[in-house]
Structure 1
């Protein structure tokens, strides 16, 4: 079902600003944390890679020098046993024992000259790691094993130490980020707080003197300049509205007095009296509209105890004199005192009068009913209904519905209703009727206790 709504806005600028500051602070903290973690991970990786590379190069150099020395000593004196080296074991197999190596150590027999990494199980059932240097000549095969078990254990300890360092420095990065974010956001938060406190007066206090000459100070100066220009515009607008209201009220008061004086004459004929009453109603409508627009321009809520039923009867009386020969019935479904609104009568008259006026204008025959509900009022007509385009744009300023044709009006009536609803916390809703016409519902704000 197509519908058009104008509801009271629920601004949450303070909460939104606080959430934004928290998000900005969180982004600063997260940046420091990720930067610290990233640098520490890269440093740990580079350190571990460098350590392993240097250690392997040193071990391989020792193995190469020792196996070269063993081969040289064997060439000089084959009967001389190879001297043992700490953490190393050496084997020399003459040519007549090559088959023994192939039988007992086939994996060694297949190796080429160089250094190879091996894992094995010792006599205690534990895994051992060693580097095996191989040198094969036609006269003998030389094998030199370097025990890497302690080296691997040292590497594991080193990795755990690196991991602990990464976690520690990551925590430090988080703390540093939190501290830095607090320092960075402190002047911004102070600026926001002072800006929020300065909104309660027509001449806000300048912000720039409270901040140093830095980026935040420049922002404070820009806000001061903007506030000064905005205050000047608002002041001019208020003065203009006050002047216009005063200048319009004066001739309207003259019209009212003249009409009342003319109506007091007993010799008036019925036709002239009807025209004077119409002028009197038009003057009252202008007065109510000026009062409502003045409240909107000042953004001030007026108070009162307005009986909606009495306002509806006055509106019906004003429209009955303009119906002419149109076969249209105006009916009030409710009792006086059923709905009483805490608002000036002028505001309720303008809001309800626009809804009733539109219903009367676009309904050619049938009836227009004003039905009083619980803290709300419905205006029901039997007119041509509401199109989808009208439903979407009904409350736009200057928009005239598809059924307006050549009727008078600038398309600002419902826009004024929407602004009054936003000011007083009301809600207006316009939807197509069940079979024909339109149902406009004006819901008032609950009474304040």
Structure 2
């Protein structure tokens, strides 16, 4: 049985990934628009400042040169200021005290052009100006160019550039949203068509004809090719399962019929009777195992119900006949009326592997099978369980540290785990109270951990 919610979670994850891809496209557009407009705004501001500085400095240099020339042409009168928004001052050597009184911050300035922010004007508004300075032996010359209007224009330009960045970023967001929807629509359509096909007996319809010959169309074609190959594999697997089921069940039926016929003969020798009974039990185990493996290969539950105590007693009886001289006691305890909704073949394989491992690795003592209200417990007095075994016990092909040279491929507990997934059971292992291992098969998965962690203290050696 598939795990509850397994279909919903992948669908939610696919939707999340799709939203993330759409979000990444939108974010790319927004970042691109923001970066480009910000770069353009910075370049505009830098170019304006550079051009303004160059032009103003050139004008101030020409005007102060003209101012000095006109002063020397007629020293008795202050020369007129060449252009508007410029005021001029001339301080002769004998009048420098007035400079200290009127503009003390100009005294230490060397010849050149300076940008000065003096605070506020008479009306309380920010005031700034460019000051050109020339100093000769006879007089010092100053020209002040009012930059207040230019400064206000710069503030307005900065505000306009900021609004432009925000507007173009918003336009980039809208364009990115539209482009992402346009780009993701074929991908979403492809995902929807894939989700619409849930499998079954019919073959899936080709996806490529529904899409144009672009990247999504190529992906759809690749998925069609993969689907065809996967369908062939599934078909071969189904045919193989059917062939195995027929070809193995036929000789097993012959063995069962011959064994039953031989067991009806009177006066059988005890050794012959034991061997015939062993053949009968082996045939039943093979039939159960084949049935369980076929159900696992098809991922479908078998029909029927099973009495747990009855199946456990049959399994213990089969192992008692194979103990030989091994000093081991096999005990069945607990309730006898626990019935589960599963065929005896599946329960026999799952519980038989747990009992078989306990019998195999316990050299002396007891193997107790305890049937509870909704679980069955197999406890042994064997060598115990290591931390490494507990972590890898249900992995396919893993053989425990106590396996030694014993027979087995390490797939028994893996089959148990797969049967638990199919029927909604749970299996757990833990060290025993004083020694050995306790394996528990829960038939109700509610509130039961899938694997009980081993205890910290090391198990006692047998």
Matches within 5 A, 1:45-444: 45-84=42-81, 85-121=83-119, 122-124=121-123, 126-202=125-201, 203-338=203-338, 340-444=339-443
Q: CA deviation at 1:358?
A: 0.2
Q: CA deviation at 1:125?
A: 5.2
| Stretches of structure 2 lacking an aligned partner (at least 5 in a row) | 447-462
Check the 8 A contact 1:263/1:273 in 2, yes or no: yes
Q: CA deviation at 1:127?
A: 4.0
User: Paired residue for 2:457?
Assistant: none
More displaced, 187-196 or 365-374?
A: 365-374
Query: Which is bigger in relative contact order (C-alpha 8 A, separation at least 6)?
Result: 1
Check the 8 A contact 2:335/2:372 in 1, yes or no: no
Deviations 1:78-123 (A, max 9, x none): 2333334432221111222123324543321211111111121444
In angstroms, what is the RMSD of aligned CA positions?
2.1
Q: CA deviation at 1:398?
A: 2.3
TM-score, normalised relative to structure 1? 0.92
Residues 186, 238 of structure 1: CA spacing in aligned structure 2 closer, same or farther, 3 A cutoff? same
Deviations 1:257-312 (A, max 9, x none): 11222222333344333322221111111001000110111122223322222221
Number of residue pairs matched by the alignment: 440
Q: Find the residue that maps to 1:429 and give its secondary structure.
A: strand
Residues 209, 175 of structure 1: CA spacing in aligned structure 2 closer, same or farther, 3 A cutoff? same
Q: Distance in 1 between matches of 2:285 and 2:79?
A: 122
Q: Find the residue that maps to 1:200 and give its secondary structure.
A: coil
Q: CA deviation at 1:374?
A: 4.5
Residues 444, 363 of structure 1: CA spacing in aligned structure 2 closer, same or farther, 3 A cutoff? same
Check the 8 A contact 1:295/1:301 in 2, yes or no: yes
Q: Distance in 2 between matches of 1:46 and 1:347?
A: 77
More displaced, 386-395 or 29-38?
A: 386-395
